[in-house]
């Protein structure tokens, strides 16, 4: 991102650099609930790493009963660095920090949660937080 910003040249698509990124986000009413949802996403990424692409949304029961190895736990810790997980306030502050750090103007959020209603609620919490805090608009809209 830094290279793009430093080497940008005006052209037919704009006179200044603009960037967007996609981030894995798990947002819930409480940090504990967000961690519970994120543990399923941890397992999903582990399945992908092992080539088990057919296993999309592990259930909470599958997460609790999965026989994690020490290597699995190392992979999960590494993957967690690619996610933003927490309650609405924490997620909001992390997204804003992320946008500033990377100089992006738009963040696309991808939420992978087993239950559709919980996944929808994650998006709703995010939208509510930004709309309430920003008076109807997002700080990312520069």
Flag whether 142 is in a domain.
no
Q: 85 φ, ψ to 5°?
A: -130, 135
Identify the DSSP state of 4. Answer: H
pLDDT at residue 119 is higher than 90: yes
Q: 110 φ, ψ to 5°?
A: -120, 120
Longest dimension (CA), the chain: 54
What is the CATH classification number for the domain harbouring 42?
A: 3.20.20.30
Average pLDDT, the chain: 88
Flag whether 49 is in a domain.
yes
Rounded-to-integer distance, Cα 8 and Cα 110, Å? 27
Flag whether 98 is in a domain.
yes
pLDDT tens column, 16-26: 888 888 999 99
Q: CA separation (Å) from 46 to 33, 74, 78?
A: 20, 10, 11
Number of domains in the chain: 1
Flag whether 139 is in a domain.
no
Residue written as token pair 């500033």: 100
Domain that holds residue 109: 2-134
Q: Residue 29 is encoded by which pair of tokens?
A: 């009413």
pLDDT tens column, 56-100: 788 888 999 999 999 999 999 999 998 999 999 999 999 999 988
Rounded-to-integer distance, Cα 130 and Cα 142, Å? 14
Q: What is the pLDDT of residue 142?
A: 39
């Amino acid at each position: 991102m830094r290279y793009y910003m430093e080497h940008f040249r005006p052209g037919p698509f704009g006179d200044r650099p603009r960037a967007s990124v996609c981030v894995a986000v798990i947002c819930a009413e409480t940090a504990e609930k967000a961690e519970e949802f994120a543990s399923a996403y941890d397992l999903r990424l582990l399945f992908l790493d092992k080539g088990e692409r057919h296993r999309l949304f592990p259930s909470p029961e599958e997460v609790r009963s999965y026989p994690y190895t020490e290597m699995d736990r190392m992979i999960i810790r590494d993957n967690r660095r690619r996610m933003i997980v927490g309650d609405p306030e924490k997620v909001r502050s992390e997204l804003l920090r992320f946008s500033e750090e990377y100089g992006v103007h738009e963040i696309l959020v991808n939420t992978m949660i087993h239950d559709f209603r919980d996944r929808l609620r994650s998006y709703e919490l995010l939208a509510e937080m930004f709309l309430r805090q920003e008076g109807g608009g997002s700080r990312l809209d520069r």
